[in-house]
Amino acid sequence: MRLLAAPLLLAWVAGATAAVPVVPWRVPCPPQCACQIRPWYTPRSSYREATTVDCNDLFLTAVPPALPEGTQTLLLQSNSIVRVDQSELAYLPNLTELDLSQNSFSDARDCDFRALPQLLSLHLEENQLSRLEDHSFAGLASLQELYLNHNQLYRIAPRAFAGLGNLLRLHLNSNLLRAIDSRWFEMLPNLEILMIGGNKVDAILDMNFRPLANLRSLVLAGMSLREISDYALEGLQTLESLSFYDNQLARVPRRALEQVPGLKFLDLNKNPLQRVGPGDFANMLHLKELGLNNMEELVSIDKFALVNLPELTKLDITNNPRLSFIHPQAFHHLPQMETLMLNNNALTALHQQTVEALPNLQEVGLHSNPIRCDCVIRWANATGTRIRFIEPQSTLCAEPPDLQRRPVREVPFREMTGDCLPLISPRSFPSRLQVASGGSTALHCRALAEPEPEIYWVTPAGVRLTPAHVSRRYRVYPEGTLELRRVTAEEAGLYTCVAHNLVGADSKTVTVAVGHASFQPARDEDQGLQLRVQETHPYHILLAWVPPPNVVSTNLTWSSASSPRGRGAAALARLPQGVRSYNMTRLLQATEYWACLQVAFADAHTQLACVWARTKEASPCHRAPGGRPGLIAMLALAILLAAGLAARLGAGQPRQRVGGRPLLPAWAFWGWSTPSVRVVSAPLVLLWNPGRRRPDPQKGKGYHPHSSTPETWPLLSDRERTRITFWFCTKREVMT
């Protein structure tokens, strides 16, 4: 593997070389070699012309004799030379570059360069060198560049580089080093560029690079580094460019980065980071460019992930197949940011707030993301011309269906709705996860929506976990991450993440298996589901139940037995996990109702529990809640939902239970074609939010579109939610 060794510079030199004509150098030239005057760049990139003898690729086994005395560049690449004696080169007083790469040196002692005081550049890459003894390069006092990459070096003596006080650039990448010794660098006080990636170094020790007070660029790519200790970069006061490309870092090495205050370019590409958390990149006062590309595990860029980076101009977060979430406030105080590349991720949106937090933003790359064209991305068409979209014709809506494949930029503002449902990215965590017994894991659940959603988790036992919940095994963070610690077989089962806002809710489940025992959801039919009537009132009935473990979804349906085709006769609510009671509202007084709770398990089997209940007689002072002005408008919703349920019913008729009463009320079998099903937006009560103040019944009934504490939920099936969002957003008045 060739590491990306300053590819830009090389390309530039190559380009310049091509432009300048090569002039023949009229001297007696060794057979088959070419003697020419060629453009040449010093290691500090200043241009010169060099008298060059080019003997590349000639199957030579020794340095040719009688080279022209004035030779400045001697190219012997791709030969079979195993040995160079002092006398073979000592008569070339002006030799500045010697290329012995791709030869057959296996012992550094076979390269005797003692008398080359002018040599600036020495290429020994792609040989078979395995060790370097002390003083291996004695006599090369002017040397500025030393290429030792792609050898078999496994041991370098502490004083191997003694005498190289002028060395600027050292390539040690792709060898067999197991440790980095800071004593090597004590000999190299002027080193500016160090490439040491591609070695099997287990860990970078504290102060490993401390003697390199003039280092500007450090490449630690492809080393399988798992962790960078806090003081690993100590002493690198002038470091400008740092690459951790292709390592095993699971976390941003924040503390280590604090030791390099001058950093301008940071490459963390191809590391298994799962998230970029609050303050991971903070107060890096000179950082100009940051790369977070090609990360298979990256799911989320959380709130305040990048804070106070006053010189950051370019941010590359691309080709991360699971990256589905960038918090609206992920970026804070990035006043110079011009280019934001976010293409080829799993992003459904980029929040307007994210963009507005970047006052100097010129262009954004969002193409090749599954963009959901609803409220969150609405700004794209509304923002004037300030922000340029890179590849706007490949920046397409993936959802909703009627906007599919339309360029996001060209969907008129009005066609996207003003509120939107939380949507948990299908790629944010797997649907199945194996954890070793006693092991720990983290599941990152995120949803971007407007208004910003709240997230909670439900354990297999049905316990609702919020950030406030503290326990030995679980911890939930406000941004939605569930941490499972030191799990035992008892924690195995189905976990559900629920994201909700005023508009609605979404959920996603994951089966966690612990140890080798494969997890089977319990199918204990005896522990039947029981639905209880907790309270009855003239216009509402409170139902409660104990959810069985490992439930995937829960539906509640109810209808009035006496007037099945009457207004609002049948209703269906799809309940998020963790709900244990439900307030059926807008009922008729003194009427009998039939309610059924159906829960579905991971293996697709379901359980049903039904109950009769009768509302009380209203006392004369009570008044029925006003008519249902929005009922007509709700019909469209109802049809959609009915279609969903009808499809399911069509697949298999429900079983009959003892007692003669049908498992589903009669209307379930004939009522679906009539649009009499009402979608419910009644308050979810009891245990739902035990710590939260109850809504004041005097202050409006249930739905508060602008309050931050939702008490009512429109509950929808997955299939319909996109389309229905539109209804909720535009016909919101019907919900009140």
Ligand X SMILES: *[C@@H]1O[C@H](CO)[C@@H](O)[C@H](O)[C@H]1NC(C)=O
Nearer Cβ to ligand X (307/596): 596
The answer to the question of residue 371 lying near ligand X (CB under 6 A) is no
Question: What amino acid occupies position 30?
Answer: P
Cβ 563 to ligand X, closest distance in Å?
20
Q: Which stretch binds ligand X (CB under 6 A): 246-254, 424-432, 641-649, 668-676?
A: 641-649
Name which of 374, 436, 599 is nearest 509 in CA terms. 599
Binding status of residue 21 toward ligand X by CB under 6 A? no
Cα 3 to Cα 267: distance, rounded to the nearest angstrom: 14
Site mask, ligand X, residues 328-367, x = CB under 6 A?
----------------------------------------
Collapsing DSSP to helix, strand or coil, 134 comes out as coil
Does residue 599 bind ligand X (CB under 6 A)? Answer: yes
Nearer to ligand X, 400 or 702 (CB): 702
Site for ligand X in 231-250 (CB under 6 A): none
* Binding test (CB under 6 A) with ligand X, winner from 348, 585, 615, 681: 585
Closer residue to ligand X in complex, CB, 294/581? 581
Determine if 402 is a binding residue for ligand X (CB under 6 A).
no
CB of 606 to ligand X, least distance (A): 6
Q: 457 with 482: CB under 8 angstroms?
A: yes
Query: Least separation, in Å, of the C-beta of 474 and ligand X?
Result: 25
- Phi/psi-derived region of residue 268, left when phi > 0, alpha when psi is between -120 and 50, beta in every other case: alpha
Does the footprint of ligand X cover residue 69 (CB under 6 A)?
Answer: yes
d(CA 299, CA 495): 18
Any idea what DSSP says for residue 515?
Answer: S
Q: Other CB atoms closer than 10 Å to residue 727's CB: what's the count?
A: 21
Q: Output the residue with the shortest Cβ distance to ligand X.
A: 70
Residues 277/253, Cβ–Cβ less than 8 Å = no
CA distance 172 to 146: 9
| Residues in 88-107 that interact with ligand X by CB under 6 A | 93-94
Binding ligand X by CB under 6 A: which of 214, 606, 674, 736? 606
Which one among 6, 205, 513, 600 touches ligand X, defined by CB under 6 A? 600
- Integer Cα distance of 604 and 610 in angstroms: 20
Smallest distance from ligand X to CB 90, Å:
12
Tokens 């068409």 sit at which residue? 381
Binding range to ligand X, per CB under 6 A, among 55-63, 405-413, 436-444, 497-505: 405-413
> Please, which residue, 140 or 476, has the CB nearer to ligand X?
140
Query: Can residue 641 be called a binding residue for ligand X (CB under 6 A)?
Result: yes
Name the segment binding ligand X (CB under 6 A); options: 185-193, 228-236, 640-648, 668-676: 640-648
Contacts of residue 488, defined as CB under 8 A and 6 or more positions apart, other chains included, come to 437, 438, 514
574 binds ligand X per the rule CB under 6 A: yes
With binding defined as CB under 6 A, does residue 553 bind ligand X?
A: yes
Q: For residue 497, state whether it binds ligand X (rule: CB under 6 A).
A: no
Write the single-letter amino acid at 399: E
Nearer to ligand X among residue 107 and residue 535 (C-beta): 535
Nearer to ligand X, 43 or 683 (CB): 683
Tokens of 130: 């395995």
| Contact between residue 542 and residue 534 where contact means Cβ atoms under 8 Å apart | yes
Angstrom distance (rounded) from CA 286 to CA 255 = 16
Which residues are bridge partners to 99 per DSSP? Answer: 75, 123
Q: Which is nearer to ligand X, 239 or 638 (CB)?
A: 638
**Taking contact as CB under 6 A, which single stretch among the options 19-27, 258-266, 466-474, 679-687 is the one that binds ligand X?**
679-687
Q: Which amino acid is at 104?
A: S
DSSP for 462-489 reads --EE-TT---SSEEE-TTSEEEE-S--G
Contact with ligand X (CB under 6 A) among 717, 721, 728, 734:
717
Indicate whether 598 belongs to the interface with ligand X (CB under 6 A): yes
**Contact status: 381 vs ligand X (CB under 6 A):** yes
Count of CB atoms situated within 10 Å of the CB of 515: 16
- Tell the smallest beta-carbon distance from residue 461 to ligand X (Å): 19
Per-residue three-class SS string for 363-400: EEECCCCCEECCHHHCHHHHCCCCCEEECHHHCEEEEC
Residue 254's H or E segment, with its range, is: helix 254-258
- Helix, strand, coil percentages (3-state) for the chain, rounded to 5, are 15, 25, 60
Judged by CB under 6 A, the residue of 133, 202, 410, 603 near ligand X is 410
Closer residue to ligand X, CB minimum distance, 263 or 373: 373
Of 108-116, 199-207, 496-504, 553-561, the segment contacting ligand X by CB under 6 A is: 553-561
Q: Look-up: residue for tokens 């002072």?
A: 621
Pairing state between β 300-301 and 275-276: parallel
Tell me the per-residue interface mask from 519 to 548 with ligand X, x by CB under 6 A, - otherwise.
Answer: ---------------------x-x------
Distances (CA, A) of 212 to 72, 217, 222, 245, 284: 30, 11, 21, 21, 20
Dist CA 153 CA 132 (whole Å): 8
For ligand X (CB under 6 A), the number of binding residues is: 31
Binding part of the chain for ligand X, among 40-48, 211-219, 467-475, 642-650 by CB under 6 A, reads 642-650
Going by DSSP bridges, is the β-strand pair 493-500/454-458 parallel, antiparallel, or unpaired? antiparallel
654 interacts with ligand X by CB under 6 A:
no
Distance CA 680, CA 692 (A): 22
Binding site for ligand X (CB under 6 A): 69-70, 93-94, 381, 409-410, 412, 540, 542, 553-555, 574, 583, 585, 598-600, 606, 641, 644-645, 648, 683, 685-686, 697, 701-702, 717
